[in-house]
Amino acid sequence: MPREVREVVFVDGVRTPFGKAGGMYAETRADDLVIRCIRELIKRNPQLPTDRVDEVAIAATTQTGDQGLTIGRTAALLAGLPKTVPGYAVDRMCAGAMTAVTNVAGGIAMGAYDLAIAGGVEHMGRHPMGEGADPNPRILTEKLVDPSALVMGATAENLHDRLPHITKERTDRFGLNSQLKTAKAYADGKLQPDLVPVAIRSAELGWGLATADEAPRETSMEKLATLKTPFRPHGRVTAGNAAGLNDGATAALIADEATARELGLPVAMRLVSFAYAGVEPEIMGYGPIPSTEKALKKAGLTIDDIGLFELNEAFAVQVLALLDHYGIADDDPRVNPWGGAIAIGHPLASSGVRLMTQLARHFAEHPEVRYGINAMCIGIGMGGTVIWENPNWEGFAK
Catalytically active residues, by annotation: 94, 346, 377
What is the length of the chain? 398
User: Residue 119 in 3-state DSSP?
Assistant: strand
Q: Dihedrals φ, ψ of 263, to 5°?
A: -90, -5
HSE at residue 372, side-chain half, CA atoms within 13 A, is 32
- DSSP string covering 283-314, please? GGGGTHHHHHHHHHHHHT--GGGEEEEEE--S
CA distance 336 to 182: 9
**Closest C-alpha to 287, from 309, 315, 306, 328:** 315
Count H helices and E strands in the chain, helices first: 12, 12
348: left (phi over 0), alpha (psi -120 to 50) or beta: left
The radius of gyration of the chain's CA atoms, rounded to the nearest angstrom, is: 20
**Closest C-alpha to 214, from 186, 251, 250, 174:** 186
CA distance 85 to 115: 11
Pairing outcome for strands 87-90 and 55-59: parallel
Inter-axis angle of helices 316-325 and 168-187, to 10 degrees?
Answer: 100
| Residue type at 320 in one-letter notation | L
- CA distances to 34, 168, 247 from 374, in Å: 21, 25, 21
Q: Dihedrals φ, ψ of 306, to 5°?
A: -90, 125
Rounded to the nearest 10°, the torsion over CA 122, 158, 341, 87 is -30
